Amino acid sequence: MLKVVIIGSGNVAQHLAKAIDATGQATLVQVYARHPEKLAHLFPEDRITASMENLANGDIYIISVTDDSIAEVSTQLPFEGRLVVHTSGSVSLDQLDGKNRRGVFYPLQTFSKNKAIDFSNVPLCLESEFENDHALLRTLADALSKTVYSIDSKQRQALHVAAVFVSNFSNHMYALGDAICQENNIPFNVLNPLITETADKVNTLSPIQAQTGPAIRHDQNTIERHLDLLKDDNQRNIYKILTQSIQDNG
Amino acid sequence: MLKVVIIGSGNVAQHLAKAIDATGQATLVQVYARHPEKLAHLFPEDRITASMENLANGDIYIISVTDDSIAEVSTQLPFEGRLVVHTSGSVSLDQLDGKNRRGVFYPLQTFSKNKAIDFSNVPLCLESEFENDHALLRTLADALSKTVYSIDSKQRQALHVAAVFVSNFSNHMYALGDAICQENNIPFNVLNPLITETADKVNTLSPIQAQTGPAIRHDQNTIERHLDLLKDDNQRNIYKILTQSIQDNG
């Protein structure tokens, strides 16, 4: 059975650790955390370490820390020639220290502290320096998820930008909608079915096919009424730019 | 049983007509369409008319046409004193001709030609000139949907702007993500679970709480790598403006 060690205690590290621990096809032997108390609610003490020197033997070491710390953590590992991967969408494989066999194990999902996630629906994007290691990563990935992709560093970085648009920026559209609702004493949850359906549509239609609304209809009267109604300069500016972008790309 | 007449044959008119026809608690007596052939696949000939003069007797007349045509259609109705509503988010009640009793029956959802919708999950926003008519609209709305709101014209117009942000603009974020995927030979459907989860999160978290990504983390290195990678001026501009907006509102 594959022995996995996770290095990190943030959102991704915790969700991944729980998911690996729950599969019957890999063993989570240890989690490293600088602040072990962050993991105390998840795992018994003897499976958590705060010392690099005490890292257990594993087939795969997964570094799941902030993007800016990945390179440094990889140099601190007190061994060589083992399989070490990171989980970042935007960091290339060669940022990892070359003393170990390098790879990437990128779960393409948004993880929040207080919301459980079904890992079987999380796309896992794999990359490895050596072909044999790809098979190891694939075994772990298949145990966790229904959808596994081989994605090289260049593609993964593009995918990460695309993910910022479809997730971070969409969520910000929800935040702006929420602000407009609050200004007018409307409960935001009126909008939840619309948000769900909008996301659901692009499972079966392309986003271009799915586009509705005044911008794509070039309904100038409605657009002007909306701009009159928006008093916040930032909201007005975003409304104008996105309306133009929809009309230019539609 | 409530007798309903629908005037219009577009997306909203068709989805609404089918939903009313399917409830056991109201009767769709007739649909008016300038081009009756657009409805031939849905209803028998004797329930469709192309002549205003032949409009049947109904308790509620629902005008579901483009925003710009609502006022004109309402003046063409060859009767007075009946209950006439429109289905638009952005048109105020008093755009309807005052010769009839006026109201609004606004389904807050995005309707596409080729995608069925479960009307029981569509929030219905009601407004009426007279209190008695509100009860009539409420009876019809309750027969169709689990969520019914009383929303006045001013609130409804704000809600419509909010809907443009959370739906039309979010969908455009999907379109931009799709374009980035296509430029890098990545299948867009890799992003579908992320899109679904992002929408799902705001059922339980506020959008501000749910925000993740490099902008809200002020991760300047990743932001700059992303801007380097984006070659399209419009994509870069939108990335910068939304990153700034997330940081200013987070």
| Two tokens, residue B245 | 């907006």
Nearest C-alpha neighbor of A181 from the set A170, A165, A192 = A192
Distance from CA of B124 to the nearest CA of A (A): 9
Nearest C-alpha neighbor of A235 from the set B143, B12, B107, B166 = B166
Q: What ipTM, to 2 d.p.?
A: 0.91
For residue B101, what are the β-bridge partners?
Answer: B83
As a whole number, mean pLDDT of residues B220-228 equals 93
Radius of gyration over every alpha carbon of chain B, rounded to an integer in angstroms:
22
> Tens digits of per-residue pLDDT, B50-98?
999 999 999 999 999 998 899 999 999 999 999 999 999 989 999 999 9
Nearest C-alpha neighbor of B175 from the set A90, A198, A234 = A198
Partner residue opposite B191 with nearest CB, options A166, A173, A181: A166
B223 has pLDDT over 80? yes
* Residue in the structure block whose two tokens are 């499976």: A47
B235 has pLDDT over 90? yes
> Tens digits of per-residue pLDDT, B139-156?
999 999 999 999 999 999
A250 has pLDDT over 80? no
Beta strands in chain A (DSSP E): 2-7, 26-32, 48-49, 60-63, 83-86, 101-107, 124-128, 148-150
Rounded distance, CA B34 to CA B26, Å?
24
Q: Could you tell me if B33 and B9 are in contact, meaning their C-beta atoms sit under 8 angstroms apart?
A: yes
pLDDT at B115: 80
B112 has pLDDT over 90? no
CATH architecture of B2-151: 3-Layer(aba) Sandwich (3.40)
CATH of domain B156-249: 1.10.1040.20
| HSE value, Cβ hemisphere, 13 Å, CA-based, for B76 | 15
Which residue type, as a one-letter code, is found at position B42? L
Q: Could you tell me if B126 and B104 are in contact, meaning their C-beta atoms sit under 8 angstroms apart?
A: yes
Q: How far is CA A239 from the centre of its chain?
A: 27
| Pure H helices in A54-99 | 70-76
**Interchain contact, A238 vs B241, CB within 8 Å:** yes
Q: Could you tell me if A140 and A119 are in contact, meaning their C-beta atoms sit under 8 angstroms apart?
A: no
Question: What is chain B's mean pLDDT, rounded?
Answer: 95
Strands A26-32 and A48-49: parallel
> Tens digits of per-residue pLDDT, A170-188?
999 999 999 999 999 999 9
pLDDT at B159: 96
> Tens digits of per-residue pLDDT, A124-161?
999 999 999 999 999 999 999 999 999 999 999 999 99
For residue A240, what are the β-bridge partners?
Answer: none
Rounded distance, CA B96 to CA A247, Å?
30
Rounded distance, CA A8 to CA A35, Å?
9
- pTM confidence score: 0.90
Mutant choice from B166, B180, B183, B224 vs A, greatest count of A C-beta within 10 A: B166
The answer to whether the A2-151 and A156-249 domains have the same CATH topology is: no
pLDDT at A6: 98
Distance from CA of B81 to the nearest CA of A (A): 29
Q: Which residues of A touch B159 (CB under 8 A)?
A: 181, 184, 186, 190-191
Domain ranges of chain A: 2-151, 156-249
**Interchain contact, B202 vs A162, CB within 8 Å:** no
B248 has pLDDT over 80? yes
> Tens digits of per-residue pLDDT, B144-188?
999 999 999 999 999 999 999 999 999 999 999 999 999 999 999
Rounded distance, CA B8 to CA B33, Å?
5
